């Protein structure tokens, strides 16, 4: 399977706990995006990497959120001290070359109790 | 005003009919436009991209772009019950950002 993969697919946690999600982009895609989607809304941009450099961060990305992409391959998104409002689907997308089309992974559904 | 606007629906069409989904965007300088399909509980799946004014056809799907009117649409011919999903319009805006800006989606229901 050469698509974008994300792990875990589902995560249930208690408020105040830290969680970490992983995204493996399509091979050789140098651009990687994180989005968050809540019920009834379209995906909202969180952050963007080109290779290992984090080039853009949304205002949605509070200081409890951190993302990294060591060596320009997989990426992790960590949420510290989770809140109930963090419950959402976290989506990763990748693209590469001169193409702007973004391909999404299956997402990680987070539920904060 | 939202940056990308879609009617939330649901849009209900009978099987075999043409479904027409519409999207408007606020940034006149936007260059790239995408339609994604999203089944309930799943992630967005790319249907089509369009970059130039006019029509672009791919099988039963036709995307239409009118940059002067800041309007992009998706037509689905011979609609099937399996087309029932939420359709997301996404725009790559001319703001220097690489991320896509999404509408909230239109829910399509195809009645057998």
- Give pLDDT tens digits for B13-38: 999 999 999 999 999 989 899 999 99
CB atoms A104 and B4 under 8 Å: no
CA distance A41 to chain B (A): 4
Task: Place B88 in a pLDDT band, splitting at 50, 70 and 90.
Answer: very high
Chain A residues in contact with B23 (beta carbon < 8 A): none
CB atoms A106 and B100 under 8 Å: no
Q: Is A25 left (phi over 0), alpha (psi -120 to 50) or beta?
A: beta
- What does the pLDDT average to over A11-36? 96
Separation of CA B103 from chain center: 9
User: By percentage, how much of chain A surpasses pLDDT 90?
Assistant: 84
pLDDT in tens, A51-85: 999 999 998 888 999 999 998 899 999 999 999 99
Which residue of A33, A42, A58 is in closest CB contact with B104? A42
CA distance A45 to chain B (A): 7
Cβ(A64)–Cβ(B5) below 8 Å? no
DSSP E strands in chain A: the ranges are: 5-7, 10-13, 19-24, 31-37, 44-50, 53-57, 65-68, 75-79, 88-95, 103-104, 108-112
CA distance B38 to B82: 12
| Per-residue model confidence (pLDDT) at position A108 | 98
Indicate if the pLDDT at residue A1 is higher than 70. Answer: no
Is any Cβ of chain A less than 8 angstroms from the Cβ of B40? no
Q: What is the 3-state secondary structure (H, E, C) of chain B?
A: CCCEECCCCCEEEECCCCEEEEEEECCCCCCEEEEEEECCCCCCEEEEEECCCEEEEECCEEEEEECCCCEEEEEECCCCHHHCEEEEEEEECCCCCCCCEECCCEEEEEEC
CB atoms within 10 A of CB A14: 8
Is any Cβ of chain A less than 8 angstroms from the Cβ of B48? no
- What does the pLDDT average to over B33-61? 96
| Per-residue model confidence (pLDDT) at position B4 | 96
Which residue of B99, B101, B104 is in closest CB contact with A41? B104
Residue A52: both structure tokens together = 């290992």
CB atoms within 10 A of CB A13: 16
Indicate if the pLDDT at residue B6 is higher than 90. Answer: yes
CB atoms A101 and B8 under 8 Å: no
């Amino acid at each position: 399977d050469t698509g974008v993969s994300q792990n875990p697919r589902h995560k249930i946690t208690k408020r105040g706990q830290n969680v970490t999600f992983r995204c493996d982009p399509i091979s050789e895609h140098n651009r990687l995006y994180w989005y968050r989607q809540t019920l009834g809304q379209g995906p909202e941009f969180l952050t963007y990497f080109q290779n290992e450099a984090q080039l853009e961060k949304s205002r949605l990305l509070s200081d409890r959120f951190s993302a990294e992409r060591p060596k320009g391959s997989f990426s992790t998104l960590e949420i510290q001290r989770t809140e109930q409002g963090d419950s959402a689907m976290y989506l990763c997308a990748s693209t590469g070359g001169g193409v702007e089309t973004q391909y999404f992974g299956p997402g990680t559904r987070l539920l904060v109790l | 005003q939202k940056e990308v606007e879609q009617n939330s629906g649901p849009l209900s069409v009978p099987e075999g009919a043409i479904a027409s989904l519409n999207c408007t965007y606020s940034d006149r300088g936007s260059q790239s436009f995408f339609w994604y399909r999203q089944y309930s509980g799943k992630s967005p799946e790319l249907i089509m991209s369009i970059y130039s004014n006019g029509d672009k056809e791919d099988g039963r799907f036709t995307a239409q772009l009118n940059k002067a009117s800041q309007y992009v649409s998706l037509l689905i011919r011979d609609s099937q019950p399996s087309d029932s999903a939420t359709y997301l319009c996404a725009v790559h805006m001319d703001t220097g950002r690489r991320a896509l800006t999404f509408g909230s989606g239109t829910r399509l229901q195809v009645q057998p």
